[in-house]
Structure 1
Amino acid sequence: MVRTRLYREGVLVAEGFPIAEVSDHVADPGNVVWFDLCAPTADDLGCIAEELGLHTLAVEDVFHERQRPKVDVYDGHLFVAAYWLYQEGHRLHTVEIDMFLTANALVTVRENEHFDIDQVTARWDASGSLAKNGVAFLLYGLLDYVVDGHYELVERLDEEVEALEEQLFEERPMSRLDARQMFTLRKNMVGLRKVAGPMREVVNTLFRRDLHVVTPEMTPYYQDLYDHVLRVAEWIDNLRDLVANLREAQLSQQGFRLNEIMKKLTGWAAVIAVPTMITGFYGQNVPYPGFGTSAGFWWSSIIIVAASGLLYLAFKKRDWL
């Protein structure tokens, strides 16, 4: 599915027109054209590259999976790569969004439909007064939506970390499922950091004056976008450190519980050892005091109970049982 829009002097004048008309509209410097491609073929992109004069390497980058978010500068246009993330269950999935920028055209190429381009167009319509800034306005709305998605995702990850933090100090020990969730959470943070961290370089590169991308009127908006990118990156780093500390605390708590169990087992073993010693000693084939009488049996029983009770009280006082 192909989406197209035509702005003239900051006003949306047409949309949904065929891509074949793009070259005619781009020829007029007063026009700004946007069109979107979702999972295009090499032939589809080749036709666009020929009409807009896109570099071969930039076109090839669209089909190279898992590349780093970046800005590549070519003669006559820029190539920008970014990633949208969405969560299914406890796992994160990425959608690559590639952008070609010319003086008066923006081409977006989405990996699949998981990136909702309708949300981006809704943002453009909500800020129509800025449309006179052309490509800078369109690019800002798109990147702002991507970064806001990163921000919302890191908020959800923060809530998951807080839930694990509260669960860590409950009486019920963490199960294998909880440990797996912690591992998945840390893995998600690493994945989010890979795509959100480089966005600092992306936005910072767009500020370069020789590129003539950010207009003076759009500069405050791009600065706000850069601030959001920094907040997301710092938040991710803080959460990664917190998860690492939670893991260390969990291991320390497991060691503490194991010491408590060993302490109790050792204490009960000492209590049981006393009657075993007494009964084993009187089990010798030699006469002992009270041998063959009921008094001897009762005295040995009293000694066993008294000695075991004293050991129990001594261990309990030291919190060994």
Structure 2
Amino acid sequence: MTIVAARRYANGKVHDLPIVLDGTPHSGPGGLFSGNAFDWIGLCEPSAAEMDLIRRQYGLHPLAVEDALNPRQLPKVDVYGKQLFVVARTAALGQGEEIVYGQTAFFLGKDFIISVRFGSNRAHTDLRRDLEADAERLSEGPDYVLHAVLDFIVDGYLPIADALEDVAQAIEESAIDAFPEPDTIRRIFRLRRQLRRYERVIGPMEEMVERLAQADLPTIDPSARIWFRDVLDHVRRAMARMRGLKETLAAIVETASLLEQHRQGEMTRQLAAWAAILAVPTAIAGIYGMNFDYIPELKWHYGYFFVWMLILGVCGGLFLRFRRIGWL
């Protein structure tokens, strides 16, 4: 059995009571553990047979179990009678700048919470220890545990935004000095593709948490909605940062293209100005290079100097004119 932790809590305290997961129908803590007692079971990548034991013991809906075993679900909240089924998506930076996704599903009843984690290396061990140290909060029940784990998952989005914002800033600064190299352009488009997928996978988290914060759902106490509103605020901030990052990457390409067009325009104007200046001596030399006997000033003693003065004068005038209008 891939159980990370299976404990029972009563009035915020941890009781060293083994929980046997053998498929026996769950009848609630009861007896010594009545009142605010509940079970918290954490599973990591369980098999279908193992999940079937959990399903039979806690009376989970088969469709919810099927979704929990499928690690490609989008974030959602489903109601099955008096139980709640929640799917959240985790995200972390893998090798390079690739975003790796995981999934954590929750089964929430009045006296239990079961988390099923796939594809995420961020275990809930430290979080569970922190919650167990705060008996007052833990005594509020499974809905508070759900809030704490969701908040833990959403906090994992922030390092992604921090890292990618640093990358975008470095690319943006280099693009100001020179048009990006082909490798940099490919890198930008890979990042934009990653962000589009992020928005598609993580985006529904906002709607899911909003429903937990506002809708009347079983096993969610109305007093706990304020905690989910805090998680909703964190989700919205994370999504806003990633959307802003996607716009920044698009602006980098656009701005770099405009700067490159400006540089090319300056170069074109300079070449056109020098071409106009050089056209003057070329034209005059071409005229006087013709094989005619009667060309004006051909026999004049000062004709050679006159032609040079004409070339220098016209070329100098053109140079000053182009310099004045900013072409040279």
Pick the TM interval, shorter chain.
Answer: 0.7 to 0.9
- Across the aligned residues of Structure 1 and Structure 2, the Cα RMSD in angstroms comes to 2.9
DSSP 3-state at the match of 2:39: strand
- Residue in 1 aligned with 2:21? 19
2:117 corresponds to which of 110, 113, 116: 110
- Residue in 1 aligned with 2:86? 80
Of the structure 1 ranges 126-135 and 84-93, higher mean CA displacement relative to structure 2 is found in 126-135
Matched, 1:274 2:275: no
Q: CA deviation at 1:63?
A: 3.6
Of the structure 1 ranges 42-51 and 196-205, higher mean CA displacement relative to structure 2 is found in 196-205
Of the structure 1 ranges 78-87 and 26-35, higher mean CA displacement relative to structure 2 is found in 26-35
Structure 1: 5+ residue stretches without partners: none
- Residue in 1 aligned with 2:219? 212
1:189 corresponds to which of 190, 195, 199: 195
- How big is each residue's C-alpha offset from its partner over 1:131-166, in whole Å with a ceiling of 9 and x where there is no partner? 101211211110001111123423433344444443
Paired with 1:25 and 1:255, the residues of 2 have a C-alpha distance of 73
Instruction: Report the TM-score, using the length of structure 2 for normalisation.
Output: 0.84
Counterpart residue identity of residue 181, structure 1 = R
Cα pair distance change 1:295/1:26, threshold 3 Å: farther
> What aligned pairs does 1:19-38 form with structure 2 within 5 A after superposition?
19-20=21-22, 26-28=28-30, 30=35, 31-38=37-44
Q: How many residues align?
A: 319
- Residue in 1 aligned with 2:258? 252
Structure 2: 5+ residue stretches without partners: none
Q: CA deviation at 1:185?
A: 3.1
Cα pair distance change 1:212/1:278, threshold 3 Å: same
- Residue in 1 aligned with 2:98? 91
Paired with 2:172 and 2:185, the residues of 1 have a C-alpha distance of 12
DSSP 3-state at the match of 1:79: strand
> Is this contact kept in 2: 1:86–1:94, CA < 8 A?
yes
- How big is each residue's C-alpha offset from its partner over 1:191-217, in whole Å with a ceiling of 9 and x where there is no partner? 33224332222223224334231352x
Cα pair distance change 1:181/1:122, threshold 3 Å: farther
- Residue in 2 aligned with 1:318? 325
Paired with 2:246 and 2:148, the residues of 1 have a C-alpha distance of 29
- Residue in 2 aligned with 1:203? 209
- Residue in 2 aligned with 1:2? 3
> What aligned pairs does 1:230-241 form with structure 2 within 5 A after superposition?
230-241=236-247
Paired with 1:15 and 1:190, the residues of 2 have a C-alpha distance of 46
- How big is each residue's C-alpha offset from its partner over 1:190-243, in whole Å with a ceiling of 9 and x where there is no partner? 233224332222223224334231352x34322222222232233333443444
> Is this contact kept in 1: 2:23–2:54, CA < 8 A?
no
Instruction: Report the TM-score, using the length of structure 1 for normalisation.
Output: 0.85
Cα pair distance change 1:16/1:157, threshold 3 Å: farther
- How big is each residue's C-alpha offset from its partner over 1:109-136, in whole Å with a ceiling of 9 and x where there is no partner? 1213423333432442454431101211
Matched, 1:156 2:158: no
- Residue in 1 aligned with 2:59? 53
- Residue in 2 aligned with 1:265? 271
Q: CA deviation at 1:48?
A: 1.5
- Residue in 1 aligned with 2:77? 71
Paired with 2:301 and 2:98, the residues of 1 have a C-alpha distance of 73
Cα pair distance change 1:62/1:284, threshold 3 Å: same
Q: CA deviation at 1:318?
A: 1.1
Of the structure 1 ranges 18-27 and 240-249, higher mean CA displacement relative to structure 2 is found in 18-27
> Is this contact kept in 2: 1:5–1:12, CA < 8 A?
yes
Q: CA deviation at 1:310?
A: 2.6
Paired with 2:58 and 2:323, the residues of 1 have a C-alpha distance of 83
